[in-house]
Structure 1
């Protein structure tokens, strides 16, 4: 070994010896929302949790829990204890007797855009209160959960006729009019409870979260439908996305995309 090699090895070991034994100090985390304190959105929550007659049950894909910008906690802490239940998995009820009793209850409704779904606005609210079941995940994940969970197929199914675009502007939605799970649940509760304050107050944490991210350099996201329509989508359109966009056009009563372009020009 040369003197140079000896010196280099000695320097390396010296550097290693200077590495602190204790792990670096982590940022303080909010006990309620689980976010770092500087970007905690709890100050935007209602003064008191809402206590609706109906309750929300989320069937959550495991991948959702790993997302840094999750919105399900906004719902669980914005509502009174027991009014938002979250079950994680890819197939349900997965030998869970409590969940099975909920899914088979005649007052349980699955909020899912199937051919058998009826607008939630057409429900006879005197039949409530309801258990409103939502699948929390991306559309492919939600569809896979629905396909694998045969108990869901026989449930009474409802859909939400959206009247605007998502406020979750830092996340790309598939089509215009698509809402996040949080927004869908809040909109549905506003209808079931006949109370617009659900919509007005429970969305404030989402607005705060988006503003935090925008202040840190995030940008607003248009839907894939918007980007494709304006020739700004950076990827090739796959068969699944193309089908989803066609279905969205049908729901909006469109006949031909070119007709839409012509209408916008007038």
Structure 2
């Protein structure tokens, strides 16, 4: 019998399925995951694919020649953007209130450290051909057991929560994403030896 949950892929005692709630979103969510993130026990992309029926995940570093992604992007009815803080990135909050005949249908997230996400974006010519969007006016992330070099760094699931909330104007509907994330973090902290969390993470 496997030690790992068949659905979330985590060890049996760390299974997150009990905290997952299905959420319908109008916006397609594509998660492009760096290979280094696949085996991380605290990866949050799985919360998104379990919670959102229209979320999809692909693993790789250079997606330029990815046949499935390129085929999907070729659909003229699909209007995709990459959530990435490029210099030309448009704030999602302003995009959401614009009266446009071509609303954003697909949001692409890069799942990796800042350095790995930058490399994925630079290598993937098909992503660079898409418009970039960014989050604005959001609080710092709460990834308490994984340090980010940026003070306002967000986990992938937090970034998705804020992005979908801004795009669809219903943050309350997407709160289960953050709730599952918080419970996962709380469980991991509870499994640490006494004092370890305080010594390593300064809390």
**TMscore range, shorter length:** 0.7 to 0.9
The verdict on how the C-alpha distance between 1:101 and 1:207 changes in structure 2, with shifts beyond 3 A counting, is: same
Is the contact between residue 162 and residue 177 of structure 1 (CA under 8 Å) also seen in structure 2? no
Structure 1: distance between partners of 2:82 and 2:188: 32
- 1:97-141: CA deviations, max 9, x gaps? x31133455610111101110100111265335100111111111
1:154 deviates by: 2.1
Match 2:182 to one of 207, 211, 228: 207
Matches of 1:210 and 1:32 in 2, distance apart?
A: 19
Structure of greater relative contact order (alpha carbons < 8 Å, 6+ residues apart):
2
- What residue in structure 1 maps to residue 58 of structure 2? 87
Equivalent position of 1:194 in the other structure: 169
Root-mean-square deviation over aligned CA pairs: 2.2
2-side partners of 1:130 and 1:31: how far apart?
30
With structure 1 as the length reference, what TM-score do the two structures score? 0.66
Residues 169-184 of structure 1 correspond to what in structure 2 (within 5 A)? 169-184=144-159
1:61/1:89 contact within 8 Å kept = yes
**Structure 2: unaligned runs, 5 residues or longer:** none
Q: Indicate the SS of the match to 1:142.
A: helix
Does the alignment pair 1:219 with 2:197?
yes
Number of aligned residue pairs: 193
Q: Deviations over 1:165-193 (max 9, x none)?
A: 21221110112211011111121011111
In structure 1, how many angstroms separate the alpha carbons of the residues matched to 2:113 and 2:137?
18
Q: Larger radius of gyration, structure 1 or 2?
A: 1
Q: In the TM superposition, what whole-angstrom CA distance separates every residue of 1:26-52 from its partner, at most 9, and x where no partner exists?
A: 63x322212223222222222xx1111
1:57 to 26, 30, 38: 30
**In the alignment, which of 71, 83, 86 is matched to residue 114 of structure 1?**
86
Q: Distance in 2 between matches of 1:184 and 1:95?
A: 24
> Contact 2:161/2:175 (CA < 8 Å) preserved in 1?
no
Please say if residues 110 and 132 of structure 1, whose CA atoms lie closer than 8 Å, have aligned partners that are also in contact: yes
Conserved 8 A contact 1:162-1:178: no
TM-score, structure 2 normalization: 0.86
> 2:161, 2:171 within 8 Å by CA — same for their partners in 1?
no
Instruction: Kindly state the Cα deviation for residue 156 of structure 1 after the two structures are TM-superposed.
Output: 1.2
User: Is 1:128 aligned to 2:103, yes or no?
Assistant: yes
